[in-house]
Structure formats: C-alpha cells, structure tokens
Amino acid sequence: MKTERLIVMANQIGDFFESYPDAELAKKSIASHIKNFWAQNMRQQLIRHVLENQGAGLHAKVSEAIREHQGTLA
C-alpha cells in the first residue's frame, strides 16, 4: 500500500482520538487500534516512515504514538 494512503488512514485514527483529554491514553489507543486492525506489513511500513522521514505528514500525536509503542506494533 502507498505510504500516502497509510498516512491518511493513520491521521483519521488520530483525529478520532484527538478529543481524548489524556494525551498518553490517546497515544496508547492510537497504537492499539493500529495493532488490532492493520496488517503487519502496513504497521511496519508506517513505522519505517516515522523513523526514516520523521513522520512527515502525520499528526504529531500519531507520530509520537508510533515512536512510543513501536515495539508492540512491529
């Protein structure tokens, strides 16, 4: 899948969790949703994008969630 499409999808998840008052819970929930509903190759591609491109195009909270929970997503 194209990285651009993954960014759009990840940002939609981030938009949903943006309203959470607890930022840490929001990031954990973003990572959990991606782990539970995305195929492993999609998760790995998104992780690579965050690490290699500093998460360009991703909402900050999504990029932070990927970095902080990388081990559980791979």
Taking phi over 0 as left and psi of -120 to 50 as alpha, with beta for the rest, 55 belongs to left
pLDDT number for residue 74: 85
pLDDT number for residue 22: 97
pLDDT in tens, 11-70: 999 999 999 999 999 999 999 999 999 999 999 999 999 999 999 999 999 999 999 999
CB-CB neighbours of 50 under 10 Å: 20
Domain ranges of the chain: 3-73
Contact predicate 37/73, CB 8 Å? no
